[in-house]
Chains A and B, each alone.
Chain A
C-alpha cells in the first residue's frame, strides 16, 4: 500500500500573546507570561490509499487540530504533511489547488457548518461550478446526482438547511464534500451529534461511499465503538501526542499502551452488563501545563520514575504496531 498521506513531526502550538496591559504588567515585575498550548506535538503517521484510519482521543487531545491541518484549514507550526508524495509547502499553485480539492472535510455540527441563507443547490453546487467540474447550466442536474448519491431526493435541492433534520443536514455536508470529487475525506466527529438510529444510517452511507468511490478516510471520533466498526487502523492520541497505532483487530483484542487499555475498559458496551466500574483516576491535565515525561503518567497505574522524566518515543513493537510506552522496554 502506498502512503496517500504522510504526516511528519507535525506540530501546532497556539500562543496566547500578551496585550499591552499584560506587557506593562510584565515590565513591572508581574509573573504574567505568554502561554503556549501544544495542541499537536510532533505527530507522525501515514494513511494508505483506500484505508480508513480512525483517530481517537478525548477532548483537548488535539485530534481536531490535527484534522484541520491535514485539510489545510490550519497552518502547522512546524513539521510537514505530504499528499501523494508531495509536501504541501513544496507544491506548485496548481498542485496545491488540486490537493485542496482532493482533501475534503466533514464537520461535526450539521447546524453550524451549512450557511442558513443559501439553498442546498448553492451549498453543494458552488464549488464544482467554480472549479469547472460542472457548467452553470448543468448545476441542478449535477447537484441532483450528488444528492441522490447521499440518499436525499433531488427535489430537495431548492430547500434551505433549516428545512432538514439533523441527519439530513449531515448528508448535505457529505454531499458538499463529495461534489468536488475528493479522494480523501477528513470526518471530524461527523456522526457525534446524531441520534442512534440516524447514526447507523450515516455510518452505512460512509461505508457504501468508500466502496463505490474508492475513498480514503481519516475518521476522527471520541466514540471507540464507531471507530472499531468502520476503521482498518486506529491511532490513539492523548494530550497532543500519539500513544498507539495498530490495526483495529489487534488494538481491540490486545491494547498495548496503558491509556488505550483504560479507554477500552471504560467504553460502555451492550454486552458489558452490570459491571463494577473501575474508573481511571484523575482528570485530563490541562494542555497549557502538561505533566513532564509521559503525559499519561499521573493517571497510569504502572508509572515509574522514568515515566515522570523521559518522554517515551513512539516506536514499532510488532510489525505495523506502534506504541509510546516505557514499559515495552522490558
Chain B
C-alpha cells in the first residue's frame, strides 16, 4: 500500500492477520488470515459466536494478545503504518491515545480504588504532558457530559463502585473518547446491560462516529445490534472471516450458509410460534478443526470440494465470501 499522508487511506487496514495460540493440545488458529478495512467515521460490525476469534482479532490489533497467543503473520496498517511489529513502548503511546478499546466488563477499564477524575486526568496527561491539570479536568468533565452522565462535576469525584453498571460502561466509553482517538475497538460493550441502557450506549456510539469521524469496530454476537448500528459487517467462524460486505446487502442477501443459518435462527426475524432454523451441531474446537472448510460438518451443502480450504471469492459485487457453494439464488418466497 502506498503511504501518502492522510489522504483517502482507511483508518485501519488489517491484512492477512494471523494469531495463533500455542497450547498443550496443539496450535489453535484463533485468527486465521483475516483482512478488513475500516474508513474514517465508519462502523464495522464484527460478528461471531463464542470462540470464533472475534475478540482475539480486536486484541491483536491493539497488541494485547497474551502468551501462549502470538500474532504470527499479517499486517495491521493504522493510517498507513504497520503497527503489528511495534514494541510495547510504542504501542503504549498509541493505546488510549489514537486507538482505544472498550471492554465488555467496564471494570477492566476502571480501577476500583481510584476516583474517576484521577483515572481520567491520568489518561490525558499520560499522552500529553503539556496539558495543565485544570484543562485535563475540564476535558474529563466534558467527556462525561458527552456520554450522557448527569451532573458530571459531582460524578468526577465518585469511585467506580458508586456507579450503576450502565454508568460504569458510559464512564469507560468517556475514557476511551478522552484523547479523541481515530479508532475505537468495542468488544461486546452492551452485552451485560439492560435493553434501555444498551439503547443509550448505541446512541452515544453512533453520534460519536458521525460527529468526530472516529472509526469503530463493534465486536458482538448479536446480529440485531449490528443491524441498527453498523455500515458494514464481517462474519467470523472458527477464526476466519466467512462473509463480509455492506450491512444491508449481507443481511438481506447473505450467500454463505453460516451467515444464512445465523440470520435464520434469530427469533425476531421469524414468524411467531414457528420452528426456528437451527444450524445442526456445534462450534468445533479450534485445536481440532476439520481440514478444509471449518463449517463443512454443519453445512447443508457440503460435498467433496469442501475438503480443501476455501479461498475468498467475490460471488457478488463488493462481497467477500469464503465458500465453494455460495447460495446465490434467494429462496423463492
Interface residues on chain A, number (Cβ under 8 Å): 45
For residue A276, which residues in chain B have a CB less than 8 angstroms away from its CB?
Answer: 206
| Residue from the set B268, B275, B282 with the largest chain A CB neighbour count within 10 Å | B268
For residue B275, which residues in chain A have a CB less than 8 angstroms away from its CB?
Answer: 204, 207
Q: Is B251 an interface residue (CB 8 A)?
A: yes
Q: Is B273 an interface residue (CB 8 A)?
A: yes
CB distance from A101 to the nearest CB of B (A): 28
For residue A278, which residues in chain B have a CB less than 8 angstroms away from its CB?
Answer: 203
Q: Is A112 an interface residue (CB 8 A)?
A: no
Q: Is B167 an interface residue (CB 8 A)?
A: yes
CB distance from B188 to the nearest CB of A (A): 13
Report Cα–Cα, A74/B7, bound state, in Å.
Answer: 64
Q: Which of B266-320 contact A (CB under 8 A)?
A: 266-270, 272-273, 275-279, 282-283
Task: Determine if A283 and B197 form an interchain contact, defined as CB atoms under 8 angstroms apart.
Answer: yes
Q: Is A59 an interface residue (CB 8 A)?
A: yes
For residue B227, which residues in chain A have a CB less than 8 angstroms away from its CB?
Answer: 268-273
Task: Determine if A58 and B196 form an interchain contact, defined as CB atoms under 8 angstroms apart.
Answer: yes
CB closest chain-A residue, reference B282: A165
Report Cα–Cα, A234/B195, bound state, in Å.
Answer: 17
Q: Is A195 an interface residue (CB 8 A)?
A: yes
Q: Which of A203-226 contact B (CB under 8 A)?
A: 203-204, 207, 222-226
| Residue from the set A203, A249, A274, A277 with the largest chain B CB neighbour count within 10 Å | A277
Task: Determine if B166 and A283 form an interchain contact, defined as CB atoms under 8 angstroms apart.
Answer: yes
Q: Is B202 an interface residue (CB 8 A)?
A: yes
Given contacts A222-B194, A284-B196, contact A270 B272 (CB under 8 A): no
Q: Which of B98-115 contact A (CB under 8 A)?
A: none
For residue B200, which residues in chain A have a CB less than 8 angstroms away from its CB?
Answer: 277, 279-280
Report Cα–Cα, A223/B251, bound state, in Å.
Answer: 21
Q: Interface code B14-52, partner A: CB below 8 Å = 1, 0 otherwise?
A: 000000000000000000000000000000000001100
Q: Interface code A263-291, partner B: CB below 8 Å = 1, 0 otherwise?
A: 10111111111111111100110000000
Report Cα–Cα, A201/B222, bound state, in Å.
Answer: 16
CB distance from A225 to the nearest CB of B (A): 3
Report Cα–Cα, A277/B222, bound state, in Å.
Answer: 17
For residue B49, which residues in chain A have a CB less than 8 angstroms away from its CB?
Answer: 195-197
Q: Is B68 an interface residue (CB 8 A)?
A: no
Task: Determine if A229 and B276 form an interchain contact, defined as CB atoms under 8 angstroms apart.
Answer: yes
A-B contact pairs, 23 of them (CB 8 A): A165-B282, A195-B49, A196-B49, A197-B279, A197-B283, A198-B282, A199-B267, A200-B266, A204-B276, A228-B267, A228-B272, A268-B202, A268-B227, A269-B268, A270-B227, A272-B224, A273-B227, A274-B228, A277-B203, A277-B206, A279-B196, A283-B164, A284-B197
